[in-house]
Amino acid sequence: MNYVGGKARYGAEIAKIVRSRRRPGQMTREPFCGSCWVSQHLPMPLTCSDSLLPLIQLHRAVQKGWEPPDFVSEDEYSDLREAWQEGENGALIGFVGIAASWGGKWWGGYARGGDRNYVYESKKTLLEKHKHLKDAIFEHRNYKNLLPIGEVIYCDPPYAGTLGYGEIFDHSLFWNTVRQWSQHNTVIVSEYYAPPDFKIICEMSHFAMKGTDKKPTRERLYEIHKH
């Protein structure tokens, strides 16, 4: 299942670096789990959380054996989006709001692609990922409410200067939170850029569409400088 900001290209590579900084038996945490491109490769015990309730409801439902639909019509998409706007939640809303949306953006417009069935493709990848997430704990929590101690934490927040996830994200607060967490945890952050007190521990390049051209984008993993 694609999700804006998802790490389909290099989730396994990121997880390998997270593993290299983990002690045996140590809790692994991903507070921006999204569609779990990285989570599926992380070691147990693992806690995945996200501030988007229907997304967590979706992951919990799939864990219990629920299967998303193979196809969603544009009318069904519109009805579910209206239900969400009126305050409804649930696994189906969590699935359709991403899987049937263009580019995986939360309710970002119905995805059309000729003969492609984006919903079915998303269903297949989601179920495949959950083969590796049977024992993961899924929590509906905002990262600001977490008080981790002694954990390895991988953060994939909305990137500064990108379209985001439909809400305003306070990047200064996020980096301050990472500084606090880093006092008692190992924290690794995916971003393009970070404040100067953070060091690059890995760089990954890929090509992304920018306007009409494909241009290289350099994604980085950061960790705080420890003196």
**What's this model's pTM, rounded to 2 decimal places?**
0.90
Task: Report strand pairing: 198-210 vs 213-224.
Answer: antiparallel
In order of 8, 58, 67, 167, 192, the CA distances from 222 in angstroms are: 19, 30, 36, 24, 9
Identify the DSSP state of 196: T
The tens digit of pLDDT for each residue in 64-89 reads: 999 999 999 999 999 999 999 999 99
Q: What are the sequence ranges of the domains in the chain?
A: 11-224
Please check the confidence at residue 138 and state whether its pLDDT lies above 70.
yes
- Interval 159-184 mean pLDDT: 84
* 11-224 has CATH 3.20.20.60 classification: no
Contact, 93 vs 65, CB < 8 A? Answer: no
Find the farthest-apart pair of alpha carbons in the chain and give their distance in angstroms, rounded.
Answer: 57
Range with the lowest mean pLDDT among 26-30, 43-47, 49-53, 158-162?
A: 158-162
Alpha helices in the chain (DSSP H): 11-20, 53-63, 74-85, 91-99, 118-130, 171-181
Query: Which of 4-13, 37-46, 114-123 has the highest average model confidence (pLDDT)?
Result: 37-46
Alpha helices in 142-212 (DSSP H): 171-181
DSSP codes of every residue in 104-135 = G-TT--B---TT--HHHHHHHHHHHHHTT-TT
Q: To the nearest whole number, what is the mean pLDDT of the chain?
A: 91
